[in-house]
């Protein structure tokens, strides 16, 4: 049985436990100090809403900014 998991270590005690499991041949540590590639939020969420929804959101934000701008002039 071969399963691969990507986990995030949140406590250094876990590293010791993982190495102990590896010594018992229960798991195999494939790579240490792995850093997942950073994805820009614009790339991650591109296409998540329709163009029509985005246009409505922009119009709503513009209207809200104009309304609040009258109440709190800069």
pLDDT digits (tens, 9 = 90+) for 17-38: 999 999 999 999 888 887 777 8
Give me the pLDDT at residue 51, please. Answer: 93
Please check whether residue 27 is in contact with residue 21, taking contact to mean a CB–CB distance below 8 angstroms.
Answer: yes
Query: Which tokens sit at 55?
Result: 């246009």
pLDDT digits (tens, 9 = 90+) for 37-69: 788 888 888 889 999 999 999 999 999 988 887
Task: Quote the CA–CA distance of 12 and 9 in Å, as a whole number.
Answer: 7
Residue boundaries of the structural domains of the chain = 12-71
Kindly give, in sequence order, each residue whose CB lies less than 8 Å from that of residue 64, ignoring residues fewer than 6 positions away.
Answer: none
Q: How confident is the model at residue 70 (pLDDT cuts 50, 70, 90)?
A: low
Please check whether residue 72 is in contact with residue 64, taking contact to mean a CB–CB distance below 8 angstroms.
Answer: no
Query: Which tokens sit at 61?
Result: 């934000």
């Amino acid at each position: 049985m071969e399963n691969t998991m990507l986990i995030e270590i949140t406590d250094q005690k876990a590293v010791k436990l993982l190495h102990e499991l590896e010594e018992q041949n229960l798991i195999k540590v494939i790579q240490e100090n792995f850093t997942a590639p950073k994805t820009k939020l614009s790339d991650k969420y591109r296409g998540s809403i329709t163009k029509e929804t985005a246009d409505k959101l922009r119009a709503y934000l513009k209207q809200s900014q104009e309304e609040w701008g009258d109440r709190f002039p800069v």
